[in-house]
Structures are given as structure tokens and as C-alpha cells.
Amino acid sequence: MDHGIKTVAVIGSGQMGGGIAQVAAVSGFDTVVYDLSGDALKRCKGLHDKLLSRAVEKGRMSEDDVTAAQGRLTYADSMSAMDNADIVIEAVVEDLDVKKKIFSGLADKFTGNQILASNTSSISITALATSVGDAADRFIGMHFFNPVPVMKLVEVINGLATSEETTARTIALSDAMGKVAVPANDRAGFVSNRVLMPMINEAFYAWMEGVAEPEHIDEIMKLGMAHPMGPLRLADFIGLDTCVHIMDVLAEGLNNDRYRACPLLKQLVVAGRLGNKTGRGVFDYSK
Ligand code: 3HC
């Protein structure tokens, strides 16, 4: 199916939003990154420029291709920059109310055939779609993985009202962005986090109960299971607060206490040790 998309708008210029925008621009789409914060947009552009020059150094892209991709990128702190978008991909903080507020504004603005997509890692797509009224058939989950330029997967999640056309266009777009789209239904954590997070949570229990030191837990999973990162290092990479949040969504959504976040994981979050982003989580990144 033809996705019919020329312009991609991304809301949120953090790690995920920035990564999605970079991949869209490199794949030939006119791309708008919208964020309220001018500083966040500056950081996002800086990271794009750094990663794209690295792609040239590594021989993965020519200088001309990088210049063309940079030319397709617009960094905007005004919503009007998104007027021509054929799809809006939201990648802001994992908060139902914040996301719903954004989407209700988008539904008023985009009344044509535009797709409204959320990069949520665990919030119900059907619940988010209630904020867009009649546009619920154009609403879908498009879950990318960090680091977006490297990870091949897009988990595509249909809400109750998502139309077949929206799903097909989203899969075609993912394909055009060089990703592999895999469908999942709208249940807490979808597939990715339903399987990944309990493993990470269990690694915290193993550490808490003294089964092994954190570096040994990670080494066992890296060398024994061929994981690129051990579960505790991966938790730091994702953000320990995000891990707790996703466990809470699983516990509530699946109504089962076995998904409760490990007390040690929660304690690190209370201490402000959130992982890479604060310089310390399970491991110390300050040096
Ligand atoms: N952005 C762009 N490219 C990046 C990157 C980033 N943030 N970080 C690493 N890369 C690239 C590097 O440039 C390098 O490419 P090159 O060899 O061509 O230069 C390549 O990735 C490998 O990087 P490194 O050699 O520095 O390091 P590693 O070989 O250890 O790979 C890794 C780093 C790709 C992050 C790897 O460790 C990995 O795959 N880890 C697991 C990541 C993972 O599981 N992600 C999913 C998280 S869950 C999620 O996002 C969902 C959410 O809902 C929780």
C-alpha cells in the first residue's frame, strides 16, 4: 500500500523524538520536530549533526546525502510549522493526561487523512484515541526503540477503532524508514515491554536477594543469552523511572501483583539514581 506521506511531524525532541526525526529525514521525508523548549530543540539539532557527521566518517552516508537530510529537517517551537504534516508522531513524556491534551489539539487541527501516532511504550492506544473523537480510526501506536537510528523494530499497535488503512499506511511508512514493523494488540505493555520489563525487574530481584553482583548478572545474560547489554545496564539506558512506570502499567493493566516493580528498583528511583540520564543508576556513569 502507498503510505501517501511526504511530511512527517514529530512532537518532542528528546532521545526518542529526535531519533525518529533523524531516521525520517535520512529516509527522504520532509521532517518537522516540534518542541516547546528551544533549548531541547538546540540539543536535538546538535545531536543530529554529530550523528550524521559520524555516518559520513564511517562511510555510511555521503556528505551530499547528509546535507540533503539536514535540509529536510525543521526544528520548530511553533505548532504552525506542522501544518503540512501527513503524519504526526507524538514522543513526549509517558503521561496519559499530557498525551491526551496534545492529541485533542491535533484532532482539531488535522481533519483530513493525516495519521495520528503515539510512540508510547505502554499507555493504551485505545485510551489515548478517546481524545481525538472521530479521528480514532486514524490513530495508531508506533513504538520505536532506543537508539532509534540503530534498532530495526517498530511495534505497530492498533487501538479498538484503528482502521485497516491506517495500519497498512503505518506499516508502509515504517518500511520506507528502513524499519521492520511488527503488529501487536493493545494490551498493557504490548509485546515488547510485557516481555522485556519483567526480565529487567527480575534482574533487580536477583541483585536485591544477593544472587549475584550487578555486573555478574549482566555478564551472565550477555554471554549466556547473547544480549547486547545486560538487563541492569539496559535498565539504566532506558531510565529506571521509566522501568518503574512501565511495571506499574503492567501491574494495573494485567491486574496481577507479579508485575509490581522490585523495591530496590523503586528505591534507586527515589534516590534520584535514574540511570544514564542522571549519571548514575545501577552503575556509575559520572566518569
Ligand atoms: N544513536 C545513534 N547511533 C548510535 C547510538 C545512538 N544513541 N548509540 C550507538 N549508536 C551506534 C554507534 O554509532 C555504532 O555504530 P557504528 O559502529 O557504525 O559507529 C553502533 O550503534 C554500535 O555502537 P557502539 O559500538 O558504541 O556500542 P555497542 O556495540 O555496545 O552498541 C547499542 C550500542 C546499539 C546501544 C547496543 O548495546 C544495543 O543494541 N543495546 C540494546 C539496546 C536495546 O535493547 N534497546 C531497546 C531498549 S527498550 C526501548 O527502547 C523501548 C522502551 O519502550 C523501553
Residues enclosing ligand 1, CB less than 6 A?
A: 51, 54, 58, 121, 145-147, 149-151, 193, 228-229, 234, 238
What average pLDDT does this structure show over 122-133? 96
Instruction: Give the per-residue pLDDT at 268.
Output: 98
Report whether pLDDT(287) > 90. no
What average pLDDT does this structure show over 249-254? 94
pLDDT tens column, 146-183 = 999 999 999 999 999 999 999 999 999 999 999 999 99
Helix (H, G, I), strand (E, B), or coil: what is residue 238?
A: helix
**Rounded CA separation 79/11 (Å):** 9
Instruction: Please count the CA atoms within 13 angstroms of the CA of 230 that sit on its side-chain side.
Output: 21
The DSSP letter of residue 255 is T
Whether residue 48 lies in the annotated active site: no
**Rounded CA separation 40/42 (Å):** 5
- Of 51, 122, 150, the one to substitute when testing ligand 1's pocket (max ligand atoms within 8 A of C-beta) is 150
Place of cell 484515541: 129
**Rounded CA separation 247/197 (Å):** 7
Report whether pLDDT(1) > 90. no
Domain with CATH 3.40.50.720 in the chain: 7-185
CB atoms within 10 A of CB 163: 15
Domain with CATH 1.10.1040.10 in the chain: 193-276
CATH class assigned to 7-185: alpha beta
Instruction: Give the per-residue pLDDT at 2.
Output: 93
Q: Which of 170, 175, 178, 155 has its CA nearest to residue 113?
A: 170
Across the chain, mean pLDDT equals: 97
Q: Which of 173, 128, 126, 181 has its CA nearest to residue 152?
A: 181
- Nearest atom in ligand 1 to the alpha carbon of residue 193 is 53
Give the pLDDT band (50/70/90) at residue 226. Answer: very high
Ligand 1 atom 31: residue of nearest CA: 228
Instruction: Give the per-residue pLDDT at 194.
Output: 97
Q: Which stretch of DSSP H or E encloses residue 182?
A: strand 180-185
Do 272 and 237 touch, CB atoms closer than 8 A? no
Whether residue 155 lies in the annotated active site: yes
Give the pLDDT band (50/70/90) at residue 208. Answer: very high
CB atoms within 10 A of CB 285: 12
CB atoms within 10 A of CB 167: 18
193-276 falls under which CATH superfamily? N-(1-d-carboxylethyl)-l-norvaline Dehydrogenase; domain 2 (1.10.1040.10)
Bridge partners (DSSP) of residue 116 are 88, 139
Report whether pLDDT(107) > 90. yes
Q: What is the DSSP string of 103-132?
A: HHHHHHH--SS-EEEE--SSS-HHHHHGGG
